[in-house]
Chain A
Amino acid sequence: MFEYIMLIISFIGLYLAIIWYNLLLLGKKEIEECKKQKKGYYPSITFAIPAFNEEKTIAKTIESILAIDYPKNRYEIYVIDDGSKDNTAKIAKTYIKQGITVISTKNYGKGHALNVALKKSKKELFACIDADSYIEKESVIRIVQNFRKKGISGCSSSILIRNKKKIIEKIQVFEYMYAAIFRQIYSFINCMYVTPGVLSVYRTDDLKEEGHFDEADNITEDLEIALRLHNKHKHIAFEIRSITHTAAPNTLKALMRQRIRWFRGYIYNARKYKHMHFNKEFGVLGLFMLPLNILGVFLVFITTTIVGDGIIKWFKYIYQRVIIADTSIFDLIDMLTMKQTLLTINFTISIPLIVITLIGFYFMYKAHKITEKDIDLSPKSIIAFILFLTAYSWLITISWIYSIILELRKSERVW
């Protein structure tokens, strides 16, 4: 039974890896074209920064927008203080002279804060930026070029981690790098099912037409708006070369909390838009991407269980031999000849695994290359990468299980 599960998992894993690889090759031309794109398109933009207790970062976020490579008369900035109890509003108000508008509201949530700015906006584009994120000078100019195409309703930027000292932060660096390259592919096949709040730009009229951001009990309004736009057959793009730096959770507890919010938000919105799943009307998104997200959860569960079982067996073996049987640790190393090693390998499983791993490494290399970032080869980073490949799926699995339990129990959704 176990062997058959392994075979099925490795087949599905290999198939998906090859699909992504081929899609990346197909999308390569599009990325190259994107690099050559002229910059002479400057649509007017409203930047909305919803902020709740962000006194430590709000100044730098505003400054990063003020420093962008974009004509000053083509944009406006709104800071919506969502009932902060700290000095967020006070700090934001120090930038009023530079043309910033600060609006204070009660704490109704991010969706409401964005809608306050959206209602006031008369610009062509509406950009949402998290109050703890900093954008690069060319991020906006690069992202807006996507709106030259008429069918595009929204576009998101690549998110990179700015705090990279701790192992837990470095692990997320790799995760976000993979997310960037995968989102570029999603964009290519019109499957960008989320427009992360870190920096996403929308056509203002489309947002107003679709009824603004969801304020009711939605903890992932960025996922909801993307699915709503897709539901109306509008397209969402991704600009890998537009880079935004955000703060990653730096403790295990904070990371779990963030993931549980995302996953609960995903379950909520997947149910809200369940009619899009397996629906031919929504093309690759309906027939492949959305069902794959659900299958992905099961694949993570099963893979984690298999890997976990292997690790437990290995520890049990070490415990039985070293602690119980008193075997020297050096005697555990089985010195095999080349022939013995070759005959011990299970090629049926190993060959797909090797191909998947190579494609995985290639994606990591490619993500660094496209975003023009250097690969960090420090020992800490290498440890983080190994942990990302091995132990991280456990955290994701636990977060998923916990999220499903909370949703089944209908627990209150909190930010």
Chain B
Amino acid sequence: MKEQYIKHIFITSLIATIVIFTSGIMIGWVLDNYRTDEVLNIIKDNELNSESYNIEQIFLENIGNVNCEILTPRIEMISEELGNTGRELQRYGSASDFKKAEFEYLKRRYFLMEIKFYNLIYNYQDSCKDEYTPILYFYKIDDDVSEMQGYILDEFIKNYNEDTILENGDKKHGKLVVLSIDGEYDEDPLISTILNTYDIEIDNLPAMIINFETIREGFVGKDELETIFNI
């Protein structure tokens, strides 16, 4: 009799386990959909803002009245949005179980958006001298050195940008913007094109292109960054 009860317990426990486990999977799946929608919406907003800025810049150039006071806050806003998107993409992407492919697609859109922004800064610098200094940072996934380089850049930029504004309101130097891109990402040929253009070997990653010219391959410490930026 007791044996029967025990057997019954093993079966009902298995059913209960499957129910609880499946509910976890279902909630995970629903949230995964929500996560991808959330990031997609942010990316769409970003793309729209970039497009709007681009049109505005062309318009101002066409009428021969490029106004940096109008463009600067816009570019600052896009830069901030881009940073937030990257963080959300990283945060939600790592929590995702079922939408890895979708997150890969979103990652591609995000990288393209970063490169587009990189181009926007290039054009912007023509008109508004040295307001921004972009760093195109190529990293490797699951790589200790890349991870460490990322943290150093984060901290460096935070301190550097806080140091930008002088007491009289003037700017000491252009604001730094880091655009992080997975250097091994092979879904989009654009990334390898950029790396080839600057003669950067994938094996030498992490690497960075500072202000469209200076190339640094391998790990760059805080001291070296300070030397590059004359701090």
Contacts and interface: CB of A to CB of B under 8 A. Distances in A.
Interface of A: 3, 10-11, 14-15, 18-19, 22-23, 26, 189, 283-284, 288, 316, 320-321, 324-327, 331, 340, 342-352, 355
Interface in B201-231: 222
Contacts of B148: 320, 324-325
A23 B95 CA distance: 35
Contacts of B6: 23, 26, 189, 284
Interface stretch (B8-16, B128-136, B171-179, B187-195): B8-16
A22 B5 CA distance: 10
A12 to B, nearest CB: 9
A284 B154 CA distance: 58
Given A15-B13, A283-B3, A320 B151 contact: yes
Interface in B12-28: 12-14, 16-17, 20-21, 23-25, 27-28
Contacts of A345: 31, 95
A344 B21 contact: no
Interface of A is mostly: helix
B110 to A, nearest CB: 17
16 contacts: A10-B21, A11-B17, A15-B14, A18-B13, A18-B16, A22-B9, A321-B155, A324-B148, A327-B155, A343-B34, A345-B31, A347-B31, A348-B24, A348-B27, A351-B21, A351-B23
Interface in B128-150: 144, 147-148
Interface centre among A19, A23, A331, A343 (most CB of B within 10 A): A343
Contacts of A327: 151, 154-155
Q: Which 4 A-B pairs have the closest CB atoms?
A: A351-B24, A325-B151, A348-B28, A18-B13
B9 A351 contact: no
Given A326-B222, A347-B28, A18 B92 contact: no
Nearest to A339: B38
Given A15-B13, A327-B155, A352-B20, 11 more contacts: A19-B9, A26-B9, A189-B6, A320-B147, A321-B151, A340-B91, A343-B34, A343-B92, A343-B95, A345-B95, A352-B24
A19 B10 contact: yes
Interface of B: 2-3, 5-6, 9-10, 12-14, 16-17, 20-21, 23-25, 27-28, 31, 34-35, 38, 88, 91-92, 95, 97, 144, 147-148, 151-152, 154-155, 158, 222
Given A11-B17, A14-B21, A355-B20, A344 B95 contact: yes
A284 B12 CA distance: 16
B24 A347 contact: yes
A344 B17 contact: no
Contact of A324 (B13, B20, B24, B152): B152
A345 B96 CA distance: 9
A344 B56 CA distance: 37
B24 A344 contact: no
A316 B23 CA distance: 34
A342 B23 CA distance: 16
Contacts of A22: 9, 12-13
A343 B21 contact: no
Given A26-B5, A325-B148, A344 B91 contact: yes
Contacts of B9: 19, 22-23, 26
